[in-house]
Structure 1
Amino acid sequence: MTVHAGITSANGVTNTTPGGGMMGVQRVPRSQSTVTRDYLAKQSPTANINELISAMPGVAYQSQDIMGATGDALSMRGMNESEVGYLFEGAPVADAFNYEPFTSTYVDNENIGSITVAQGSPDLTAPLYNTVGGQISAKMIDPSHKMGGYLDLMGGNYSVNKEFVRFDTGDIGHSGIRGFLSFSNTHGHMDRGFGVLRRYHTDAKFVKEWGKSNSFGVVFSYTRLFWNSVRRPSMAQWKEYGRSFNFNEEYTPGDTAYYKFQTKNRNGITIVAPLHLDLGSGLSFNATPYFVLQYSPATGASNLSADGSYYGTEPAGPLNQPYTVNGKVTAMGIGYYNAKNSGLTTSLDWKRGNNTLSFGYWYSYATHWEENSYSTVDLNGNVANMDGKYPIILQNGKVLRGYNLNLLQQTNALFLSDRLNLLKNRLHLEAGIKAAMVSRQATEDMPGADPYKSVRNYFEPLPQVAASFDITQRDQVYFNATTAFRVPGSSETQVQDFDPSSSTAVSQPGSLKPEYTIGEEIGFRHHGLYNVSASLFNLNLTNHQVTSSGYIAGTTTLIDQTMNVGGETVRGAQVEFGLQPWHHFSPYVSGQYLDARIDNNYQVGNDYLRTKGKTAVQSPHFTASLGLSYDDGRFFGNFQLRYLSSQYATFMNDEKMPGYVVANTTLGYRLAPKFGIFKHPQIQLNMQNMGGNNYLSGIAGVTANARSYKGIYGTTISGSSPNYNVGSNFGIMASISTGL
C-alpha cells in the first residue's frame, strides 16, 4: 500500500495526482487522459482549456497569444478542433454549426476542476455529432462546504493583468445547498501586432444534495471578450518578415490592413443544470438541460467600388459615400452573429447484479443568424459607425451586405448500452448503439442566391463495443471498436456567400456527405508509484472534411471553406508515463507516433490531383512532451517542454510547416498557512515560451496544392498558398493569490 498525504492549499492543489497533475488514474476502456488542479493551478491564470491540455499525448496546440484568450486551434490524431467534441459540465458548448470551441469563454482557470481528453474514441452517451477526432470534457470545481473565498491578482509583460475573486457561500443552513460566484477582469496588449485584449468573465455554480446520492446543480458562465486580430502569414511572408508581418499601425487612405479595422468580439452565456436521482431498486435517472448563447461582431475591411459594387448578384448602384478616392470607398465590414443552442440529455440506468443497462435520449434545438454591413472610413482611418447603427444604405433603401444567413437545426439521438462485469469484476464488457438524427436548414437572403434555401437531413447508427480486463488491481488491458460521424460544418456547406466586389458568389456550397469513422484501439495501463499508459490505434475515415479559412481577395475578411478529401487511414501509437510524488518530484512524459494517409485522389473541377498515399495535412508524425514537477508544500514549480515535428499544409505535400520546440516554467512559494484574514497565500511566476522562440504554431488555412500541377487528365491545376498561425511570444506573469 502506498499512502500520499498530499498538501493543503487555497487553489485546490493536493499534490496527489501522478505526473504533477497530468495523469489522473483511468479505468475506461479507451485512450483517455485527465489533468487535475495539481497541474491546472500551476499554469498561467489566463490559460484556456486547449492550452491546458497541450502536453497530453497527440495534442498539437496552436498557441497564438500569451494570454490564451484568442487561440482555440489544435489537432488530435490529425483532426482539427472542429472535428473534436467539446463538453462543459456535460453540455455541448462549441458552436452548433461550425464547431468552433471558443474555450476561453467557458470558465476561468481558477474554477476548472479537471479536463479529460479522449483521443479518438467518443463517449457513446455524449450529446455530440462531430467527434470523429475525439472528445474534450471540462468540469468546474465543486463549491466548498465552508464559507470563504479566493483572490488572485496577476501582472506581466505586455501590460497583461488579471484580477479574479470568488466567494463561496458554504453550506446554507440545513438546506443542502452550497455554491460560489466569481468575477474576473483580464486586460493586456497583444504580444504580436497592435491593439489590446479585454475580457470580463463571471462564473457561478450552485448544488443541492439530498438523500443517499441525489443532486441538482446549476452552472452559469458569462463572457465579454474583445481583441484586435493578428494577420496570418503565408510561408513566403513568414520567411521574409517573420513576426513583424501583421496589420499596419498607421493608416493611409485605402489601406484595408489597418489594425483598428481588424477586431473580434466573443460574448457568451452558458447555463447547465445537471440532475441525478436515485430511484431505488438499482434505478437512477440523469437529466442535463442546457442553454448556450454566443453573439458578437467581428470586423474586416474592403475597398468598394463607388459605382461598380454588387448587392448579391445585382448591381448596387452608386454608393454616394464621402471620402471616395480614385473611385474606391474604403469601408469596414462588420459581421454580426447570434447563435443559440438549447437542449436536454436524459438517461435511465438500471443496475442489477453484475449488469448495468442504460437508455438515453438527447434533443437539441439550435439557431444561428449571421449578417454583415459596411461603414465608410474617413481619410484618417476613423469609422463613425463602429456600432453598425449607420451602415451604407443603397438607393433602394436596403443595407449593403455581403451575406444574410439564417440557420436552424434540430437534433434527436437515442442510445442504448449494456455493461457486464464478470470474473469477480475483473472482466468488463460493454456494447451499445446510438442513433443520431440531425435536420438542418439554411437560407441566404441575398439577391441571386442559388439556392436561397437548403435543407439537409442526416441519420447515422453508431455502434460501439469495448472490453477491459484487470490483470491485477493495478494493471489493465483494454480494447474498443467505435464509430463516429460529423455533420458538414459551417453555413458555407449549404448556401453561398457574397462580397460587394464580385458579381458572383465568393463561396459555393458543395454536396458534402457526413464524415464517418470506424476506429479500433488496444491498450495497457498501470497505476501505482509509477503510472504507464500505452495504446495502439487505427482509424478509417470516409468523406474526411478539412475545414480551412482564408481571406476574401482584396479584403481582410476571413471565410471558411470545407473540402472533402475522401478516405483517410490513420494509424499510430501513444504513451504516457507519470510518477507519484517521490521526494517531492513528479516527472511526466508523453509521446505519439502518427501515420495519417490520404486514400483517394483529390478532385478539382473535372480533374484530380494525385494525392493518394500522401500524408494528411495537420498530422505531425511525432509529438512529445516532457514535464517535471516539484512541490514540498512551500516551494513548488514545474517545467514543461513540448515538441511537434513538421506537418504538411497541402494535400499534395508540397509545402509544410517546420517543427518546433517550446518550453514553459512555473516557480512559486507558499507563505504561512494563515496570515491575518488570508489563508495559504502564495506567490507564483509563470514563464511561457522561455527561449522566445519565433515559430509557426499551426496551419490556419490548408490548400490542395501550393504549386501548379498537371491533373490525371492533363488539366493544369493552379496552386494557392496556405496561411499559418504564429506562436505566442515570451511571456512572464507574476501572481499573488490567497484564500479568504
Structure 2
Amino acid sequence: MFSRTALLFATTALMASLLPVAHAETQPGGHASGKANAAGAAQTGKKSAGSNETIAPSMLGATAPTDERIEVTGHTYGDGVTRRAFGGGLMTPSDSPKSVSAVTRDYIAKQNPALNPMQLIALLPGANVSDTDPLGMTGGNLSVRGLTESQMGFTLEGFPINDIGNFAVYPQEIVDAENLKTIRLAQGSADLDSPHISSSGGVVDMYMIDPKNKMGGMVDVTYGSFNATRGFLRFDTGKIGSTNLRAYFSYSQGRQDHWRGPGWDNKKHGEMKIVNDWGDGNRVSLAVVGNNIQNNAYPNVSKASWDKWGTGFKNPIGGSGLASGDPVNTVYDANFYTPARAGAVNYYKTRPNPFTNIYASMPSTFKLNDHLVQTETPYFWYGYGNGGGAQYTDMSKFVYGKQTLAGTVNGAGKGMQVLYNPSLTETYRPGATTKLTLTTGINRLMIGYWFEYAKQRQSAPYSFVGADGTPLSQWGDSNNVVLSNGEKAQYRNTLTQTQVHTPFIGDSLSLLHGKLTIDAGLKYSIVKRSGTNYLPDTRNKYVSTNYNQALPTAAVRYKIDSHNQIFVSVATNFRMPQNYALYDAGSFNQRTGLYSTQANPDQKAEISISEEAGWRYQDDLISTSLTYFHYNFTNRLYTQSVQDGISGSFYTTNINAGGMHSDGFDAEIGTRPIHNIRPYVSVEYLHAVTDSNLPAGSGAGADYVRSKGKKAPQAPDWQVGFGLDYDDGTRFANFNLKYVARQYATFMNDQSIPGYVRMNVGLGYRFPKVSIFKSPVLRLNLQNISDNRYLNWIQSPQANAQATTGVFGKTVSGSVPTYKIASPFAALATLSSDF
C-alpha cells in the first residue's frame, strides 16, 4: 500500500513542478510582520550583522511570550516561511548566556502538519525523540542529555503543561503545528521564571503565532498512509474596528488506522488566540487550547519478543501462532484480536486512551513607565481521561484490602468476568506568574512570583464490557462494579493537592558598551503536597510532604566582536517526587498485607547542578554554536520493580537511585541560503555515568546491584542531526536525518537497543493565487523513507535484566525492560493555502 501511495504522491508533485513558475515575490498573500514585541522594544534590541532578526540583551527570565527575543521582518509567505532563517528554520541567532536551540516557521511549515512539538525538535542537539505513529497521535517521548521529558519543563505561551502529578508530557494534546511560531529547547537549565517543579533538566518553550492584522485565514487537508486523514481551518478576524484587537479561531480533526495490529486514533482539536496591544509596549493576549483524543494504545514489547517476532502480529489467529513458552509478551497472542476467548484481557478495545483537556493562558505585558515593565501570565489547566486496561476476575472473590467480597454491576454479573479497569485522572490546575522588570542604565532587575494550586483526583474503577469486548463506557466512570459492602471496587483511589509558591529575583549588568553581560539570580521553590488514599488497609491514609529548595543561577556572556561571543553558566535545578510515590495502590497481597505498588513518601527532591561553557559565531551567512556541559545529580528519582525477599512476589516502588554525573558537548551549525540551499548539522556527545549502586530486593533479600560506574540508561553516547533545505520561492524540498547511538535499558548495562538512523524527505510546490486562495501549496512528506524497523524508546528501564550477584553476595533477580517500536514508512500529502 505504501509504495503505491508514495508513487501517486510523488507523481503529483512531479506534475506540479512542470507547471509554469510563479515568482514568490509577486504572490499575493505575503505578509510583513508588525512591530517588535513589547519586551523587545523595552529592551532596546540590536540587530545581528546583516540580519533581519532583532536580538535583545539576554536575561535569565524569558519564558513569557512577550520575552521572546526574535522578531522576523520582511516578506513572508502565507504559512509564515521567510526563506531566510538559518538552517531552514532549525537554528536562530541567540544572545543567551546558556545553550538554547530553536525551530521556527521556516522548518515547521514544511513538515507533516500533524507532527506534535516533540517530533518537530528531533534534529536539535541532544533531542532524542521517539514516536509510534506517523501523525503523532499516540504521543512520543523525549530525552535530552540522558534526561527524559518528565525531568524537563514544558510550557506553551508561558504556562506549564507537564502533568502536575507524574510530570509526564502528552505532546499530541498540546498545539497544532499550523499555529506554532517557535519551539525553543534549553538543554541545560530552566529560566528563573519557568513555572516548573520538575525541570531538573532543561525546558521546552512553545509559542503560538499572533492573529493577523487583516481578515483571512488558512486551510489545509492531509491524506496518506494507513488511511490517515486530517483537516485544519483557521479564521483570522483581523483588526476589529479601529482598535488593535484581533483574534483567530482554529479547528482540526485527524484520524488514522494503526499500522501495527488493530486499532485507530481520532483527534479533535480547537485553538483560539486574542491579542490587543496599545501605547508603547502594552499588550494583553488570551490563548485557549481544547483537545479531545480517542485512541487505542500500541502494546510495548520485550527484547525477547522483538528479537523473535519483530513488529509482531504476523500470525494473529491460527496459522503457526505463538507456541506455549515462546518469549513473547502476552499482548501478541490472539487475545489482542478477539474478545471471544476466556480471560482475553489484552483485547485492543480494552486499551483505549481517551482524554479531554483545556488549557487557557493570558500572558500580558504592561509598560508602567519608561523603566518599569510588568508581565502577568495567569493560566488554567483542566484534564480528564484515562489509560485503559482489563482484568479477568471472579465476581465472588474481589480482594478489597484484607477483605474478600462479592461484586456486581447494577445487581448483575456472576462468575468469571472480563472487567474494564482504566486509571482515571481529573486535574484542576490554576496558577499565575507575575514579574516586574526595572531597567536603569546598564542594569536590569527582575523580581517575580509564581503561584499554583493544583488538585488531582485519580481513581481506577472496574466496569463491564459488552458482548463484542468493547467497554460499556470507555471513560470508565459508569456501570462500575459495586462490592457487597457498598464500596466501589478500585485499585487506585487518591486525591492530591499541590501548592506551589516560588519567588524569584534576577539581575543583569551590561558592561563595556554591551559586550559583557553578567546575570545572577535566585528562585526559592516552596511546595506543599498533601494527599488522601481512599483504598482500605493502606499504610498511609493521609500524607503530607513539604519541599523548600533554593535554586541559584549565574551566567556571563562576552561578545569578542560583532560575530563571536562566549558564555559560561551554572544553574541549580530540581524535580519533586511524583505523586505516585505517596500512595499504596494496585493489587493487595493478603499474605504479605502489602499492595503491588508501595508508597515511599519520604524521598528527597532530585537535584541537578549544570555547568556550561560555550562559543557562538554568527554572521550574515553562518550561525554556529559549541557548548561543553557537565551535570551532577543527587537523589536521582527512579521507579523500580522489586522482589520481596520473604514472599518472592514483585512490587513496584519509587526509590532514590543516588548520584549521576555526565559530561559532553553539543554543536550545531546552519547557514542562510546558498543558491537557495540551507544546510544544518547538529552533534552531541554524551558520557553519562551512574555514581551509585542501586538498592534491590527487600527484607531478607535486600541488596544492591553493582551499577556504580556503569553508563546511565536512555543516554546514547552520540547523536547526529542533519537537515538540508532547498527553496527557490516556488519549489522546495528538504531532507532530514537523525542518528542515535546504542541506548542501555538497565543500570547494569546488561540489555540495550542498538543505534538507528531515521530519514525523512519533503517536497513542495507553491501555486499562484486561485480565487480566494492567496498562496496554495502542495507538499509531500515521506517519513522513515528506508522503512527502518527499530526500537526507539525504553519504556521501563530496570536495574538489571539478568540475574546478578549483589554487593552483599545475594542473587538479585532480573526484571524485563519494555520498549516502544518506531513508526514505519509513511507518505502524507497536504494541500494548503491562506485566504
| TM-score, with length taken from structure 2 | 0.85
Which deviates more, 302-311 or 589-598? 302-311
Amino acid of the residue matched to residue 607 of structure 1? D
* Counterpart for residue 426 of structure 2: 338
Question: Which of residues 598, 603, 606 in structure 2 aligns to 1:512?
Answer: 603
State the secondary structure of the residue aligned to 1:51. Answer: helix
**Residues 709, 718 of structure 1: 8 Å contact kept:** yes
**Residues 406, 484 of structure 2: 8 Å contact kept:** yes
* Counterpart for residue 496 of structure 1: 584
Question: Which of residues 86, 91, 100 in structure 1 aligns to 2:154?
Answer: 86
**Residues 596, 652 of structure 2: 8 Å contact kept:** no
Following the alignment from structure 1 to structure 2, what is the Cα–Cα distance between the partners of residues 3 and 55? 23
Alignment of 1:117-136 (within 5 A): 117-136=185-204
Amino acid of the residue matched to residue 636 of structure 2? H
Assess, with a 3 A threshold, how the Cα gap between structure 1 residues 214 and 404 changes in structure 2: closer, same or farther.
same
Amino acid of the residue matched to residue 269 of structure 1? I
Which deviates more, 279-288 or 632-641? 279-288
* Counterpart for residue 723 of structure 1: 818
Amino acid of the residue matched to residue 508 of structure 1? Q
* Counterpart for residue 177 of structure 1: 245
* Counterpart for residue 411 of structure 1: 500
* Counterpart for residue 225 of structure 1: 293
Following the alignment from structure 2 to structure 1, what is the Cα–Cα distance between the partners of residues 474 and 526? 41
**Residues 323, 378 of structure 1: 8 Å contact kept:** no
Once the 2 structures are TM-superposed, how far is the Cα of residue 710 of structure 1 from its aligned partner? 1.6
Amino acid of the residue matched to residue 484 of structure 1? N
1:62-94 Cα offsets, whole Å, 9 max, x none, are: 111111121231100111110000011011111
Is structure 2 residue 801 aligned with structure 1 residue 706? yes
State the secondary structure of the residue aligned to 2:87. Answer: helix
1:522-554 Cα offsets, whole Å, 9 max, x none, are: 00011121111001000000011135799xxxx
Once the 2 structures are TM-superposed, how far is the Cα of residue 561 of structure 1 from its aligned partner? 5.2
Question: Which of residues 603, 617, 620 in structure 1 aligns to 2:713?
Answer: 617
**Residues 501, 525 of structure 2: 8 Å contact kept:** yes
1:600-655 Cα offsets, whole Å, 9 max, x none, are: 11112331111110101110000111110000110001100001001111111110
Question: Which of residues 288, 294, 308 in structure 1 aligns to 2:377?
Answer: 288
Once the 2 structures are TM-superposed, how far is the Cα of residue 517 of structure 1 from its aligned partner? 0.8
**Residues 411, 437 of structure 1: 8 Å contact kept:** yes
State the secondary structure of the residue aligned to 1:403. Answer: strand
State the secondary structure of the residue aligned to 1:665. Answer: strand
Assess, with a 3 A threshold, how the Cα gap between structure 1 residues 422 and 11 changes in structure 2: closer, same or farther.
same
State the secondary structure of the residue aligned to 1:131. Answer: coil
Following the alignment from structure 1 to structure 2, what is the Cα–Cα distance between the partners of residues 439 and 515? 16
Following the alignment from structure 1 to structure 2, what is the Cα–Cα distance between the partners of residues 165 and 25? 32
Once the 2 structures are TM-superposed, how far is the Cα of residue 498 of structure 1 from its aligned partner? 2.4
* Counterpart for residue 398 of structure 1: 487
Once the 2 structures are TM-superposed, how far is the Cα of residue 401 of structure 1 from its aligned partner? 1.0
The structure where strand makes up a greater share of residues is: 1
Once the 2 structures are TM-superposed, how far is the Cα of residue 381 of structure 1 from its aligned partner? 2.5
**Residues 503, 525 of structure 2: 8 Å contact kept:** yes
Once the 2 structures are TM-superposed, how far is the Cα of residue 308 of structure 1 from its aligned partner? 3.0
* Counterpart for residue 42 of structure 2: none
Following the alignment from structure 2 to structure 1, what is the Cα–Cα distance between the partners of residues 397 and 605? 39
* Counterpart for residue 526 of structure 1: 617
Amino acid of the residue matched to residue 614 of structure 2? G
Once the 2 structures are TM-superposed, how far is the Cα of residue 382 of structure 1 from its aligned partner? 4.5
Once the 2 structures are TM-superposed, how far is the Cα of residue 140 of structure 1 from its aligned partner? 0.2
* Counterpart for residue 22 of structure 1: 90
Assess, with a 3 A threshold, how the Cα gap between structure 1 residues 260 and 456 changes in structure 2: closer, same or farther.
same
Assess, with a 3 A threshold, how the Cα gap between structure 1 residues 520 and 318 changes in structure 2: closer, same or farther.
closer
Following the alignment from structure 1 to structure 2, what is the Cα–Cα distance between the partners of residues 609 and 203? 49
Once the 2 structures are TM-superposed, how far is the Cα of residue 96 of structure 1 from its aligned partner? 1.1
State the secondary structure of the residue aligned to 1:522. Answer: strand
Once the 2 structures are TM-superposed, how far is the Cα of residue 8 of structure 1 from its aligned partner? 3.5
Following the alignment from structure 1 to structure 2, what is the Cα–Cα distance between the partners of residues 570 and 376? 49
**Residues 453, 495 of structure 1: 8 Å contact kept:** no
State the secondary structure of the residue aligned to 1:675. Answer: coil
Is structure 2 residue 128 aligned with structure 1 residue 40? no
Alignment of 1:321-336 (within 5 A): 328-336=416-424
* Counterpart for residue 62 of structure 1: 130
Following the alignment from structure 1 to structure 2, what is the Cα–Cα distance between the partners of residues 439 and 53? 34
Following the alignment from structure 2 to structure 1, what is the Cα–Cα distance between the partners of residues 606 and 472? 45
Question: Which of residues 719, 724, 731 in structure 2 aligns to 1:628?
Answer: 724
Following the alignment from structure 2 to structure 1, what is the Cα–Cα distance between the partners of residues 297 and 88? 35
State the secondary structure of the residue aligned to 2:165. Answer: coil
Alignment of 1:470-485 (within 5 A): 470-485=559-574
Once the 2 structures are TM-superposed, how far is the Cα of residue 377 of structure 1 from its aligned partner? 3.8
Following the alignment from structure 1 to structure 2, what is the Cα–Cα distance between the partners of residues 167 and 560? 49
* Counterpart for residue 678 of structure 2: 586
Assess, with a 3 A threshold, how the Cα gap between structure 1 residues 440 and 679 changes in structure 2: closer, same or farther.
same
Assess, with a 3 A threshold, how the Cα gap between structure 1 residues 3 and 498 changes in structure 2: closer, same or farther.
closer
Is structure 2 residue 657 aligned with structure 1 residue 569? no
Assess, with a 3 A threshold, how the Cα gap between structure 1 residues 352 and 474 changes in structure 2: closer, same or farther.
same
**Residues 404, 444 of structure 1: 8 Å contact kept:** yes
Question: Which of residues 241, 244, 255 in structure 1 aligns to 2:344?
Answer: 255
Which deviates more, 42-51 or 303-312? 303-312
Question: Which of residues 648, 665, 668 in structure 1 aligns to 2:761?
Answer: 665
* Counterpart for residue 347 of structure 1: 435
Once the 2 structures are TM-superposed, how far is the Cα of residue 24 of structure 1 from its aligned partner? 0.9
Following the alignment from structure 2 to structure 1, what is the Cα–Cα distance between the partners of residues 395 and 197? 45
Following the alignment from structure 1 to structure 2, what is the Cα–Cα distance between the partners of residues 302 and 737? 46
1:359-388 Cα offsets, whole Å, 9 max, x none, are: 101110001001121123466534445454
Following the alignment from structure 2 to structure 1, what is the Cα–Cα distance between the partners of residues 87 and 565? 19
Identity percentage of aligned residues: 35
State the secondary structure of the residue aligned to 2:660. Answer: strand
Following the alignment from structure 1 to structure 2, what is the Cα–Cα distance between the partners of residues 737 and 30? 37
Assess, with a 3 A threshold, how the Cα gap between structure 1 residues 318 and 280 changes in structure 2: closer, same or farther.
closer
State the secondary structure of the residue aligned to 2:269. Answer: strand
State the secondary structure of the residue aligned to 2:568. Answer: strand
**Residues 151, 575 of structure 2: 8 Å contact kept:** yes
Amino acid of the residue matched to residue 338 of structure 2? E
**Residues 352, 474 of structure 2: 8 Å contact kept:** no
Question: Which of residues 541, 564, 572 in structure 2 aligns to 1:452?
Answer: 541
1:287-313 Cα offsets, whole Å, 9 max, x none, are: 110001111133101112333331133
* Counterpart for residue 391 of structure 2: 302
* Counterpart for residue 601 of structure 1: 693
Following the alignment from structure 1 to structure 2, what is the Cα–Cα distance between the partners of residues 206 and 382? 41
Following the alignment from structure 1 to structure 2, what is the Cα–Cα distance between the partners of residues 456 and 177? 45
Assess, with a 3 A threshold, how the Cα gap between structure 1 residues 82 and 547 changes in structure 2: closer, same or farther.
farther
Amino acid of the residue matched to residue 728 of structure 2? D
Which deviates more, 264-273 or 331-340? 331-340
**Residues 539, 570 of structure 1: 8 Å contact kept:** yes
Following the alignment from structure 2 to structure 1, what is the Cα–Cα distance between the partners of residues 539 and 177? 45
* Counterpart for residue 555 of structure 1: none
Is structure 2 residue 442 aligned with structure 1 residue 358? no
**Residues 641, 798 of structure 2: 8 Å contact kept:** no
**Residues 116, 136 of structure 1: 8 Å contact kept:** yes
* Counterpart for residue 650 of structure 1: 746
State the secondary structure of the residue aligned to 2:585. Answer: coil
1:317-363 Cα offsets, whole Å, 9 max, x none, are: 36598776xx6322111332101111110011110000001110111
CA RMSD, 1 decimal: 1.8
1:74-121 Cα offsets, whole Å, 9 max, x none, are: 100111110000011011111111111112212100000000000022
* Counterpart for residue 629 of structure 2: 537
> Which runs of 5 or more structure 1 residues have no equivalent in the other structure?
551-558
* Counterpart for residue 553 of structure 1: none
Once the 2 structures are TM-superposed, how far is the Cα of residue 598 of structure 1 from its aligned partner? 0.6
Assess, with a 3 A threshold, how the Cα gap between structure 1 residues 38 and 549 changes in structure 2: closer, same or farther.
farther
Alignment of 1:143-182 (within 5 A): 143-182=211-250
